[in-house]
Chains A and B, each alone.
Chain A
Amino acid sequence: MMRYVIGRLGGVVVILLAVCLFTYLIFFKLSPDPAVMICGKTCTPERIDSIRDVLGLNQPILTQFWEFLQGIFVGREYGTVHCPAPCLGYSFQTNESVWAMITARLPVSVTVAVGAAVLWLLAGVIGGLISAIKQGTWWDRTAMALALGGVSVPNYVLALVLQYVLVVKLQVLPFPSAPAFADNPVLWFEAYIMPWTVLAVGYACLYARLTRSNVIDTLSENYFRTARAKGLSRPLILRRHALRPALTPITTIFGMDFAGLLGGALITETVFGLNGIGKMAADSIAKNDQPVIMAVTLLAAFFVVIGNVVVDLVYIALDPRVRVTQ
């Protein structure tokens, strides 16, 4: 077991390094000269040269990459400025420390992800469960039809429609802002409820269908019939025998979905004006702010890869069949 975990963690490191290197190379090749961008409109050739010097842009690409890696673990120097670990550079736009920008905005993205996750798990799993139990009834058919619809709406369309209806027309909710919970819990809730809903809808519908089909499959398996024959009551059977194997694949997918969201729900945050990692990514791409783009990509990849590992470990813990084959 330990060997497995260590092996997986080793794989994580390799993949993250690969992502890092690939991203670095791609942006190196594709982006316009960063020195030019920092310099701005009133530029002189001497200033460009001094910026290139400070950023180390005249060195070979792999040396630059190595310094970048070093920066993450032990910090690095930018000319006379010392950038403490974890150093992800300074924004070309605002000169802020990228790490500081991330830590400032991560709570918003996490709030969005967690809130949406709670909503979609509850709605999706419970909805799917009920549909499975009442398979074939009016409830089941309607719910599944709605689920298909929910999966088909692009989330930005839904976001815009919700915002128009609830904020502009009915004036039930105020305009988006993102206050801290401590300052104003009511406003906090009002600000986040729409992004949570928008994100949750797509996933909830998906999970409802998934749960439903998994539970139906499990309920028709042989061991379930045996349990019934033994005289166990339905709720007991559901809880002990049907739910667990049905939920295992959901756990896997949930881990991946949630990890993906932690890296920032780009479109949702942009549409609702929430100052999270996703919006930072969108803004920095629009302005070609390389250090920020690199950092956000790495962060998102980090969450996904770690999520992958966690999910696999949880899967092993939950499903005894898998444990045996390991």
Chain B
Amino acid sequence: MTATIGGTSTALVEEVGTPAPAGGPPTSTRRILTTITRDKGALACVLFLAIVVLMAVAAPLITKLSGWGPYQFDSAAINSDLGGVPHGALGGISGKHWFGVEPQNGRDIFARIVYGARVSITISLSATLLTGVLGVVLGMLAGFYRGWVDQVISRLMDFLMAFPALIFMIAILSSLPAGNRPVLLVVVISAFGWPYLARVIRGQTMTLANREFVEAARASGAKDVQVVFREILPNLRGSIIVMTTLAIPGYIGTEAGLSFLGVGVSPPTASWGQMISSSVSWYSVDPMFFAIPGAFLFLTVLSLTVLGDKIRSVVDQGAAA
């Protein structure tokens, strides 16, 4: 099932299933890096992503420079008699507030974007990591051992993929107490995300397990574990890199979507999705409140998708060679 929350269908991930695993030496990371640095589009993406990551990592430092924390109210910046609309044009953009302020509480949007980057990056990277580990390990086990191991794991994957993930995520998240929201989000998102990776890895492992070099390794006395990790895993590297790179924007979109629906991070934590959600009723009087987080979300997802796409074409070319 395709969970089209952030607009990035997970079928995107399935699409990558088509390139065959490398028969010869795996695509070198160096090739990937050279191709990217030569391509202007890819460079632009990397630059933007670097900025976002920098925001996420150095958030406290940056907000010290800009002068406002993400939770501080600035009542003077909004007009209480007109419902709390920000003073000044463009949603209150000024020297004091570089991206303007939020209506009704006057919180600095720049600070909240920076901290929102933190939330997006942390959650999506953690989810990608968790999904990656689960998907690769379980996929390889299923593809390598076949038999009942495969049966059990495949049924589990079918079961999880049959669930309407979005509904379930919302229902689970809204019924659980606030607790440790980010951790919860990562767990829930990963629980529904790993089967897609696992399925592809399983398919490719099955094909690889029949290749001669694996037989040869077996014949020379290598144990199963060694075969799996030394022979098969390196050949999956291309697919894994591509799929994880393409999963990140998907998870950013998912977290934003869940926060948009109100079941993501709890207030007053800043999240781009939650900011978009609050901005909906204000878009006629204060469109900047909608445009800024919307633009950041869009550009981040776009950069990651373009980058992932480029990496995929490199891997494909490597495979075809």
Contact = CB atoms under 8 A, between A and B. Distances in A.
Touch A–B, Cβ below 8 Å? yes
Given A256-B1, A267-B5, A288-B175, A156 B170 contact: no
Interface string B134-176: 0000000000000000000001001101111011101110111
Contacts of A149: 302
Nearest to A164: B283
A149 B249 CA distance: 12
Contacts of A304: 1, 161-164
Contact of B171 (A154, A157, A164, A293): A293
A248 B164 CA distance: 24
B9 A301 contact: no
B11 A257 contact: yes
A321 to B, nearest CB: 14
B280 A267 contact: no
B302 A148 contact: yes
Contact of A160 (B155, B253, B290): B290
Contact of A164 (B155, B172, B284): B284
20 contacts: A14-B155, A15-B162, A18-B159, A27-B171, A30-B172, A150-B7, A151-B7, A152-B305, A154-B257, A156-B276, A168-B284, A202-B4, A210-B11, A249-B18, A253-B11, A266-B166, A266-B170, A267-B166, A285-B171, A305-B162
Interface of B: 1-9, 11-12, 14-15, 18, 155, 158-159, 161-164, 166-168, 170-172, 174-176, 249, 253, 256-257, 260-261, 273, 276, 280, 283-284, 287, 290, 294, 297-298, 301-302, 305-306, 309
B168 A297 contact: yes
Contacts of A210: 11, 15
Interface string A146-174: 00111111111110110010001000000
A206 interface: yes
Contacts of A56: none
A308 B253 CA distance: 25
Nearest to A260: B1
- Main SS of the interface on chain B? helix
A282 B260 CA distance: 12
Contacts of B14: 253
Nearest to A299: B164
Nearest to A217: B18
Contacts of B290: 160
A257 B2 CA distance: 6
Contact of B297 (A26, A30, A154, A209): A154
Contacts of A217: 18
A122 B181 CA distance: 41
Interface string A266-279: 11001000000000
B11 A15 contact: no
Contacts of B155: 14-15
B172 A11 contact: no
Contact of B302 (A152, A202, A213): A152
Interface residues of A, number: 61
Contacts of A154: 5-7, 253, 256-257, 260, 273, 276, 297-298, 301
Contact of B301 (A16, A31, A152): A152
A48 interface: no
Contact of B164 (A15, A152, A256, A301): A301
Given A154-B7, A157-B294, A300-B164, A30 B175 contact: yes
Contacts of A152: 7-8, 249, 298, 301-302, 305
A151 B8 contact: yes
Contacts of A160: 276, 280, 283, 290
A300 B167 contact: yes
A210 B18 CA distance: 10
B262 to A, nearest CB: 8
A316 interface: no
Contacts of B168: 23, 297
A231 to B, nearest CB: 28
A87 to B, nearest CB: 21
A15 B166 contact: no
B174 A286 contact: yes
Contacts of B309: 148
Contacts of B163: 19, 297, 301, 304
